[in-house]
Structure 1
Amino acid sequence: MEKKKKLSLPVQIFIALVLGIVVGLMFYFTGAAGFTTSYIKPFGDIFVNLLKFIVVPVVLLSMIDGIISMGDMKKVGAVGWKTILYFMVTTAVACVIGLVLATVFNNAGLFPNLSEAAQAAEYEAKEYAGFMATLVAIFPTNMWKAFTEANMLQVIVIALLFGGSILAAGEKSKLVRDMVTSAYAVVERLMEFIISLSPIGVFTYMTWVVATQGAEILGSLALVILCAYIGYILHAVLVYSVSAKAFAGISPVKFFKNASAAMIFAFTSTSSAATLPVSKECADALGAEDDISSFVLPLGATINMDGTAIYQCVA
């Protein structure tokens, strides 16, 4: 008997997204939005809590495991500065794209008028302490506090320090190396389980948002959303295509085909950290070296927020 082919996770998430909109509209028009807040949204909260719970272990262990796999801090340093430089450049390009598109849309009168709301709103920005103070804050004084507060930059610094120390200790660190590799394998399995719940999380949150805010949530800011998404598409097609061809020597078509699963999952889950395992699989399929991807992907999921940069500029 032939076994039925299971729907892929991105397809499941997309179906959950559509069903969430449909069910949410049903609750909205029947006046039962309160039910979604009390009995449907909590399941989405549980899913998000699980994602937040697993983020720190994934970033910490995957980066340490990646550093150990490289076997040489010189290689880590060479990969590190090139990666950060690339992230800075792509983020800068993303900001330019977002600002140009937002200016065009705004000058054309396509954005909704928020002047009254803007005048009524009050916000006091925190005083900028300066670059050096920001740099100092990256280095933790308490490792456990960095973990409990999920301070990702501090977690990355901790991973770099421990990874480098394990390499420096040589053969004496064999037990710790094995422990890190074993712990990361366990965390990967746990992450896969949490990710398998994504369709439930997407469905519950989408149902709640549409039920409580109605159809207008899908249309009132449509042009603002459209502006941002045009920016996302332009950035992905232009920047990623050029990068794939220039740095990896692969065709953009092959890149997008093999990376589509991670892109779809990131789009629907809106979580870079949650997409890490899927991204790792895509990187393997594209032929990336295991030690490089284990180091670069968590770093990118934490500090390389090109989509967020576009969104902030448009907003």
Structure 2
Amino acid sequence: MEASGTGASAAPKSPFYRQLYVQVLFAIALGVIVGVAFPDFATTPGVKALGDGFIKLIKMVIAPIIFCTVVSGISHIQDARKVGRVGVKALVYFEVVSTFALAIGLVIGNVVKPGAGFAGKPDAAAVAQYVNAPHKSTVDFFLDVIPDSVVGAFARGDILQVLFFSILMGFSLLSMGERAAPLRKLIDEFAHAVFGVLGFVMKAAPFGAFGAMAYTIGKYGPTVLSNLAGLIATFYFASAVFIVVVLGLIARFAGFNIFKFLYYIKDELLIVLGTSSSESALPNLMAKLEHLGCSRSVVGLVVPTGYSFNLDGTNIYMTLATLFIAQALDIPLTLQQQLVILGVAMLTSKGASGVTGAGFITLAATLAAVDPRMVPGMAIVFSIDKFMSENRALTNIIGNGVATVVISGWEGELDREKMNAVLNGPTDAFAIVREEADEPAV
């Protein structure tokens, strides 16, 4: 893998217009222009299908990549206790960092007060589908981790269910010893083939970003960006503070620079920005983290788990949106109630993970638990939630990437020399995906 990575870096640099992040950035800008200038065209089913189709293509390979990565990672290790150790460290890290994210949302919401003086009238009917949606309890959430059938889990693309089965399969192969060698080799080879498929899919990323952005702007109109600009700006500011300060300090203690890391995953961040889906970048993120020097077993366990338990952007949104609605409706919240917000949000953000409209569903559950009078106020943020969801996804994927590097370091399974070389050198997303497809498993 070293030889391949070095060779890719030493190869002549391709023209800028062939770089994935340049293509995606151009596609996003073109999507905004088309959405503003030709809204009727931008909202046609064909344009919308570009974004939806790309996300479906990515989701197509998520389940097999998670399965192969986790099973291969566990079955190749010698110490079975390591899996439980990594899992415990990951969950503890997730809860601590999530608490910081929730607290930042509360603090900035109290200082900036983006909802003070709001004169709009909420339309409660607009969010009835989210408010009335069934919210799963924490017990139901853990029961749902167990799939009714393995085939069903893969067919639905349920990340946690696939992860649960993959862990069991990995331990099973580990316990079989040398008898499982042929099956381990088969899974490793299948993983390389799936990463090859991912390489083809990633070439469609600019088309997906264009379609998703053009449709969004065309449907909601450019004015929606300024209707509640204060809340949007506050949310982005709070997320930036979290990334630069909290994740920046964590990265510094772990031995790397957060800004260099952000530049390293710029392709994935732009894909997330264009599609508003953190899942669209999950497979490529896993490949890049391995290329960075993180062990395959840690990447395979931490990244999929983090997509359900490490939702930093969602946590910031929930506390900030709750304060915004309380301020807009002129409902004073005591310090005790705000602490309740923090505690309830910590639970509800896990309970509705993976549910369509999870951001709104968890917000509804939090508002109902703190003060039911605030639930109709969800309609205030309904029109701009699409634009806030992009920032939620961006913050979530950055948080999961940092968590994987940190936990790899804790486990002593981070190649720091390679990490420093990669972060200080040029990166090519397609070359990294091809490396994962071509190189034999360790």
Q: Distance in 2 between matches of 1:149 and 1:113?
A: 43
Deviations 1:184-231, CA, capped at 9 Å, x for gaps: 111111122222211101111211222232221332232222121112
What is the CA distance between 1:289 and its match in structure 2?
A: 2.8
Matched, 1:47 2:54: yes
Aligned position for 1:124: 132
Match 1:27 to one of 38, 50, 61 = 38
Match 1:5 to one of 5, 9, 15 = 15
Alpha-carbon contact 1:258-1:285 (below 8 Å) kept: no
Matched, 1:171 2:178: yes
What is the CA distance between 1:259 and its match in structure 2?
A: 4.1
**What percentage of residue pairs aligned between the two structures are identical?**
29
Q: Distance in 2 between matches of 1:170 and 1:140?
A: 27
Alpha-carbon contact 1:245-1:252 (below 8 Å) kept: yes
- TM-score when normalising by structure 2: 0.63
Unaligned regions of 5+ residues in structure 1, if any? none
Q: Distance in 2 between matches of 1:242 and 1:17?
A: 31
Q: What code does the residue aligned with 2:210 have?
A: F
- TM-score when normalising by structure 1: 0.85
Alpha-carbon contact 1:266-1:275 (below 8 Å) kept: yes
Alpha-carbon contact 1:280-1:294 (below 8 Å) kept: yes
Q: Kindly report the root-mean-square deviation, in angstroms, between the aligned alpha carbons of the 2 structures.
A: 2.7
Q: What code does the residue aligned with 1:312 have?
A: M
Q: What code does the residue aligned with 2:224 have?
A: I
Alpha-carbon contact 1:51-1:274 (below 8 Å) kept: yes
Alpha-carbon contact 2:47-2:215 (below 8 Å) kept: yes
Q: Decide whether aligned partners of structure 1 residues 132 and 25 sit closer, same or farther in structure 2, where only a CA change above 3 A counts.
A: closer
Q: Aligned runs of 1:1-315 on 2, under 5 Å?
A: 5-6=15-16, 7-28=18-39, 33=40, 36-106=43-113, 109=116, 112-118=118-124, 122=128, 123-124=131-132, 126=134, 129=137, 131-246=138-253, 248-284=254-290, 286-315=292-321
What is the CA distance between 1:158 and its match in structure 2?
A: 0.7
Q: What code does the residue aligned with 1:297 have?
A: V
Q: Distance in 2 between matches of 1:26 and 1:66?
A: 49
Q: Distance in 2 between matches of 1:203 and 1:180?
A: 35
Q: Distance in 1 between matches of 2:13 and 2:189?
A: 33
What is the CA distance between 1:128 and its match in structure 2?
A: 5.2
Q: Decide whether aligned partners of structure 1 residues 87 and 201 sit closer, same or farther in structure 2, where only a CA change above 3 A counts.
A: same
Q: Structure 1 stretch 13-22 or stretch 146-155: which is displaced more?
A: 146-155
Alpha-carbon contact 1:20-1:203 (below 8 Å) kept: yes
What is the CA distance between 1:4 and its match in structure 2?
A: 5.2
What is the CA distance between 1:40 and its match in structure 2?
A: 1.7
SS at match of 2:279: coil
What is the CA distance between 1:278 and its match in structure 2?
A: 3.4
Deviations 1:228-265, CA, capped at 9 Å, x for gaps: 1112211111222222222x223445444434444444
Q: Structure 1 stretch 78-87 or stretch 53-62: which is displaced more?
A: 53-62
Q: Decide whether aligned partners of structure 1 residues 52 and 221 sit closer, same or farther in structure 2, where only a CA change above 3 A counts.
A: farther
